[in-house]
Structure 1
Amino acid sequence: MEPIKPTESELQILQVLWSLGQASVRQVNDELSKVRDIGYTTTLKLLQIMFEKKIVSRIEEGRYHLYEAAITEEATQQFLVDKFVDTAFRGSAMKLVMQTLGNHQASKEELDEIKKLIAQIEQNA
């Protein structure tokens, strides 16, 4: 199966659907309007395109449709991270981690989680 490559606008809609589960066009538009200027018809058109691309599923509820993400947040994140590592860091996850930790003040909790992940990876290797 060909990986689904959401655009930035589609990704914003997916984030709304992942948090709400199912939502009408109005609900999606209301959430998007909190962070950017977007019209109802633009949201509707984007959701229709996403339905055609099989990124979202649609259920008829009377006079309106309820939309739901057809791809998981985890699978989408994995695809986007893999693509980013390949293009920006020439496939080196280490370079990505070093760049991120060097430019971002990680909290003690984040560092503890990173250490746990490293220990888990070492144990499985």
Structure 2
Amino acid sequence: MKTAKNATDPSSEPTKSELEILQILWKYGPSTARFVNDHLNQHTRKVIYMSTLKLMQIMVEKGFLKKDESQMKHIYWAAVEEAKTKGALLDRVVDTLFNGSAGSLMMQLLGNKKIDPSDMETFRELIKKMDQNQ
């Protein structure tokens, strides 16, 4: 018998496709599978409705989504917090790709991308605050 993974289990991470669905639900709130599928088709990539629905059902089993079945159209919403999920994934990236060094990650980011001047100012302010708190 197959046991469902729990999204609060640290070894349980959403796949790329699951993250695409979570991003939509975090942004728009509780939605039908049809809405999610239409959004994916318009903004991300072409997907078949039945594939989206099946993946969302699997995400319910894994604990990433919850579902209201009280109406004809089932409504899904994220069962995991956006900040916690992104934080855990980012921690994993820092640990595995940058040997635990957030500074190395930042240097890589700043070296690879053009930074918007307003973002750069935000970074400066954040660094100032961090300096003041030490």
Instruction: State the TM-score, normalizing by the size of structure 2.
Output: 0.88
Q: Spell out the pairing of 1:46-57 with structure 2 (5 A cutoff).
A: 46-57=55-66
RMSD: 1.1
Task: Tell me the amino acid that sits aligned with residue 16 of structure 2.
Answer: E
Gaps of 5+ in 1: none
Q: Matches of 1:6 and 1:12 in 2, distance apart?
A: 9
1:98 and 2:111 aligned:
no
Q: Matches of 1:117 and 1:90 in 2, distance apart?
A: 23
For each residue in 1:43-80, what CA deviation from the matched residue of structure 2 results, as whole angstroms up to 9, or x when unmatched?
01100010001101111242121000011211111011
Moved over 2 A (4+): none
1:45 and 2:54 aligned:
yes
Q: Paired residue for 2:38?
A: 30
Q: Bigger CA drift: 59-68 or 110-119?
A: 59-68
Q: Matches of 2:27 and 2:94 in 1, distance apart?
A: 26
Task: Tell me the amino acid that sits aligned with residue 34 of structure 2.
Answer: R
Q: Paired residue for 2:17?
A: 9
* Higher fraction of strand: 1
Q: Paired residue for 2:3?
A: none
- 1:105 to partner: Cα distance: 1.3
Q: Matches of 1:67 and 1:47 in 2, distance apart?
A: 8
1:60 and 2:77 aligned:
no
Percent of paired sites with the same residue: 43
